[in-house]
Homo-oligomer: A and B are copies of this chain.
Amino acid sequence: MNTNGCSNCAIRGMFFDFLDDPWKHAGMEHEAARFVRDGLLVVKDGIITDFGPYEEVSTRHSGVEITHIQDRLILPGFIDGHIHFPQVRVLGAYGSQLLDWLQQWIFPEEIKYADRDYARKAAGLFFDALLAGGTTTCQAFTTSSPVSTEEFFEEATRRNMRVIAGLTGVDRFAPKDFLISADDFYRESKRLIERYHGKGRNLYAITPRFAVGCTGEMMDRCRQLKEECPDCWVNTHISENPTEVRQAKEHFPDCTDYTHVHEKHGLLGPKFTAGHGIWLSGDEMKRFSKAGAAISFCPLSNLFLGSGLFRLGRAKDPEYPVRLSIGSDVGGGNAFSLVRVLEEAYKVGMCNNTMLDGSINPREQDLAEADRNKLSPYRAYYLATLGGAHSLYLDDTLGNFQPGKEADFVALDWNAGQAAMAWHQSLAVGEGGPATIEEAAQLLFGIMTGGDDRNVDETWIAGQRAYKKPAVSRE
């Protein structure tokens, strides 16, 4: 893959990444992670060519230009599995659950993205906000206007970012300007796939917005696209809201449940992601697991819209594990920052557990599921990096510092959040920064709970610095 990064350089610093899924190492989660206190990451043409302890790696690359990033934890760039490009400006709108919220806030705003100038301006702000939050890859919805999809990919290309997106199809239950016919959707999707898929770092997702907004004909066209372009991703929503679930069953009466709609149309499988999945039954989750399909867990949005509490512990059932990414779901989610999203994921797990750990009804205890709901820093940052890549079938390309992968990463300043954060973090580590993987994990937890995008000090794309946090003058 062509990445146009730095031609030959190296970054020295403190690195933290994952080699495995920490849920598979319950009680010993650090075994899934790797902490290199003084490491060297060597990058050529945007690709990691070597990585390990500085002492060892540097001897193999004498003469390479080294950038030393000090007092920061360097992690693989964050992966946002579910975000809406045309909702930058309506993030966190007031007062309605999903279906009303779409009508009142989202439709009028998204319609503006048929205007190229508006979409272009928005794309600049959108990617700026991603980078400021440490997100280097996202899987995004656009609108039913090809213009918005084009401007999304054009801006991603300018920034050389690894992204997944696609024309977003809705052909019923929305204002006329918001709709696209199944035929137009098919034709435009084909054109856009040809133009963007696999060009630079762009990847294309066939994107039926959500089944309630799609006729059977639209879903058939999606199946046709996937058959003709099997290399493409598929991105949609599922079971976000109880009313939506009821409507899905109403509008697809020949399907036994919401998941069946996607099975019936040949979409549920590898490279398929559905956002939310809050109200999926245990049986549906099993079918996701068996099909190799993924859910993007969007806790910030789920709490903001009052959609419900995703059963994280159930999705991580070791017998039927579902591939999971974490998604901001901006603008249903009210922040771009994935550490803020991890904070909310932690809360969702904790709230679930009041139901599962015997707090409310001791007879309904499920301590194993409750334990899987607990979002330790290992589990959290795994979801935001390697886990997200795995869910998107990009773990050969992204997600950790293994040689051969693309050099997208983020440098976190563990003290840079709210006032008194440095004192808080100093409970976990001394002046010299983290000495052990456990101390590093504690700092990362502190960033999730006491921090936000202020802790993102630098974001690098393909071995080049794409974002540096503006300096704050402390008196």
Q: Is the CB–CB distance between A306 and B449 below 8 Å? A: no
Chain B residues contacting A446 (CB-CB under 8 Å) are 92
Give the residue of B97, B374, B418 whose beta carbon is less than 8 angstroms from that of A129: B418
How many copies of this chain sit in the oligomeric assembly?
2
Chain B residues contacting A304 (CB-CB under 8 Å) are 346-347, 350, 449
Complex Cα distance, B129 from A424, in Å, reads: 12
Q: Does A452 contact B (CB under 8 A)?
A: yes
Shortest beta-carbon distance, A469 to chain B, in Å? 9
Give the residue of B125, B126, B347, B376 whose beta carbon is less than 8 angstroms from that of A94: B376
Cβ < 8 Å to B, chain A residues 69-86? none
Q: Does A308 contact B (CB under 8 A)?
A: yes
Q: Is the CB–CB distance between A128 and B419 below 8 Å? A: yes
Q: Is the CB–CB distance between A303 and B303 below 8 Å? A: yes
Q: How many residues of A contact B (CB 8 A)?
A: 67
Complex Cα distance, B334 from A448, in Å, reads: 10
Q: Does A233 contact B (CB under 8 A)?
A: no
Complex Cα distance, B14 from A295, in Å, reads: 46
Q: Does A351 contact B (CB under 8 A)?
A: yes
Q: Does A336 contact B (CB under 8 A)?
A: yes
- Chain A residues with a Cβ under 8 A of chain B: 88-95, 97, 109, 125-126, 128-129, 132-133, 241-243, 303-309, 334-337, 343-344, 346-347, 349-354, 357, 359-360, 374, 376-377, 418-420, 423-424, 426-427, 445-446, 448-450, 452-454, 470-475
Q: In the A-B complex, list the 7 residue pairs whose CB atoms are closest, starting with the nearest.
A: A306-B350, A92-B449, A129-B419, A303-B347, A132-B419, A242-B359, A334-B449
